Amino acid sequence: LQEYDTYSSCVEALSSGSVDALTTDDTILAGYAAQEQWSGQFRVVGAPFSEELYGIGVQQGSELCGQINDALTELFEEDAFAAINDANFGPADYTPDPATNPSTPGGHCS
C-alpha cells in the first residue's frame, strides 16, 4: 500500500508503473481516465468498495435549499446531467451507476 498527497501523484505513479492500481470515488477516477493525456491508458473497473453520499450544505431554513433542489431536478428532467456526464467523462466510457447516483435530489429543506 502506497499513499500519496494528491490524486495527480497517484495517477502519475500508476502511469509510471510504480503502482498497479488506485482507488477513490469513481467519478474522480473517470475524470482522470477521460483526460486526453491519459487517453486509453486507464479505465474504471470492478465494483465500488463503498458508497459515499455527497451533499450541499446550506444554513437551516435557507431559501437556497429549495433553489438548489429545483436546479438539480431541472438538470435531470432536461437530460442536462447526461450531457454534462458525457462532456466530462465520455472518453473514459463511464456511466454512473443509477443505484448509487439517483436522478432526483434527495435533500430535505427543513
Helical H segments across 1-110, by residue range: 7-16, 26-34, 64-77, 80-89
Q: How many domains does the chain have?
A: 1
Domain with 74, as residue range(s), is 7-46+53-92
109 within domain boundaries: no
Look at residue 98 in the predicted model and tell me its pLDDT.
76
Confidence bin at 14 (pLDDT 50/70/90): very high
Distance CA 67, CA 58 (A): 11
105 within domain boundaries: no
CB 56 within 8 A of CB 69: no
* Each residue's pLDDT tens digit, 17-73: 999 999 988 888 888 888 888 888 888 888 778 877 778 889 988 999 999 989 988
1 within domain boundaries: no
pTM: 0.64
Distance CA 19, CA 13 (A): 6
11 within domain boundaries: yes
